[in-house]
Amino acid sequence: MTKTDVIGAAQAGSEAAVLPKSVLREYLETIVVFVLILMFARTFVFMQSKIPTESMLDTLLVGDYILVNRMLYGAPGDDGPLWLGQRPIARGDVIVFRFPRDPDVDFVKRVIGLPGDVVEVREGYAIVNGVPLDEPYVKLAERGRHGSTGPRRVPAGHYFVMGDNRDNSNDSRVWGFVPRSVIKGRAFFVWYSFKEQKNDHLNTGFKRLVSMSRKVIFFYSRTRWHRLFHRIE
């Protein structure tokens, strides 16, 4: 074998060793990376939730699908703004949290009282540290049985929350304060909205199948198109 033959054989072997990836392999790698990024974002950055009741009318409607920023507040115990732009929980924020009496259930309410605040509710409206809050988001059709309460001081590490639909909200007026440790994040975005019955998520078995079929059949006519990508204030 001549020197030229040896060089040619070496080049052929080198080209064989760097054969291009198959199209299928490239697709699989892309899908795996996308799934990993999606799982990370769902666990640490954003979560999705659906509004099943009328407690936050008219800010949030039954059938609103919302996105929740899980990073905005940082971790419990974080103090002050962090390098990713986190900030403390603020009065007026709409938050998602584990219900203190049943950690398997998520609630969505508005923050009214911060740690150390003295909160009083008169006829459905909040008074914090002796000053009535400006609450343009409040919905009051009639004076409910939980319309007035307090004054009560919010303990350290806890928050006083209420629904915007003050006559139809199971909130801090009834069961007390929300510990910081159960707060998941701030609701900031309605990405989809569908007109559906209250507590649709409780349907099981055949009723669940009917509910899912209804969403497919009436997708166009019952989608609230004007609420898509609606910012939560």
Of 22, 50, 109, 215, the catalytic one is: 109
* Token pair listed for 168: 């139809």
Distance in angstroms between the alpha carbons of the first and the last residue of the chain: 80
Work out the burial of residue 176: count CB atoms within 10 Å of its CB; fewer than 13 is exposed, 13-18 middle, 19 or more buried: middle
Measured from the Cβ of residue 217, the count of other Cβ atoms closer than 10 Å reads: 10
Tell me, yes or no, if 109 is annotated catalytic. Answer: yes
Tell me, yes or no, if 181 is annotated catalytic. Answer: no
Q: What is the DSSP string of 5-65?
A: HHHHHHHHHHHHHTPPPPHHHHHHHHHHHHHHHHHHIIIIIEEEEE--SSTTTTTS-TTEE
C-alpha closest to that of 200 among 14, 29, 64 = 64
Residues 67, 231 contacting (CB under 8 angstroms): no
Of 55, 169, 172, 193, the catalytic one is: 55
Residues 128, 92 contacting (CB under 8 angstroms): no
Residues classed as catalytic? 55, 109
